[in-house]
Amino acid sequence: DAGVTQSPTHLIKTRGQHVTLRCSPISGHKSVSWYQQVLGQGPQFIFQYYEKEERGRGNFPDRFSARQFPNYSSELNVNALLLGDSALYLCASSLSAGSYGYTFGSGTRLTVV
């Protein structure tokens, strides 16, 4: 069975550019959460989506946005990239918004230069 898949695995972008990261949840999971993990830190919550609706949002600027599609896959978009956005972006899927059974993907390593 496929786990949580994220693409791309690595990405290098220039300051000011825009980036789109993608996540496919485990089959049957309807909720997707996004986390940002800066080197040497724990993951920080960005968004949770369930049934295509935003169910939670962490303390991130409006440059960060996300959406969930009818097949429950999700995209995270970041505009006007800053050097500080360099991080590992993790996607986690769960059965529902209130389910604590999270499974994490391997992440997308974003480097902003």
Partner 1 sequence: GQNIDQPTEMTATEGAIVQINCTYQTSGFNGLFWYQQHAGEAPTFLSYNVLDGLEEKGRFSSFLSRSKGYSYLLLKELQMKDSASYLCAAYGPNQAGTALIFGKGTTLSVSS
Q: Which residues bind partner 1 (CB under 8 A)?
A: 4, 33, 35, 40-45, 48, 55-59, 88, 90, 92, 97-98, 100, 102-107, 109
Residue 33 CB-half CA count within 13 A:
24
Token couple for 11: 């990405």
Question: Toward partner 1, which CB reaches closer, 13 or 55?
Answer: 55
Task: Please name every residue paired with 17 in a beta bridge, in sequence order, or none if there are none.
Answer: none
Question: Toward partner 1, which CB reaches closer, 16 or 101?
Answer: 101
The minimum distance between CB 87 and partner 1, in angstroms, equals 13
Q: d(Cα 113, Cα 103) in Å, to the nearest integer?
A: 30
Question: Toward partner 1, which CB reaches closer, 58 or 73?
Answer: 58
Residues in the chain: 113
The minimum distance between CB 16 and partner 1, in angstroms, equals 27
- The amino acid sitting at 36 is Q
